Amino acid sequence: MVTETARDDATWYECEACGLLFDDREDARRHEENCDAEDPTYLQ
Ligand SMILES: [Zn+2]
């Protein structure tokens, strides 16, 4: 799930599964569709 987060006076879109931040909602959504966060080794 993509969540909005405010940081540095800008709105970011965060992949809730892996924590990646995007400045574009569409990018975040596309990432999420292919997000690999089920695999814990993907987390940093
Ligand atoms: Zn992700």
Ligand 1 centroid to Cα of residue 44, in Å, is 12
C-alpha 10 – ligand 1 centre gap (Å): 20
26 CB-near residues (< 8 Å, 6+ apart): none
- Write out pLDDT tens, residues 1-44: 999 999 889 999 999 999 999 999 999 999 999 998 766 565 55
pTM for this entry = 0.73
Cα 9 to middle of ligand 1, angstroms: 23
Residue 38 confidence (pLDDT): 67
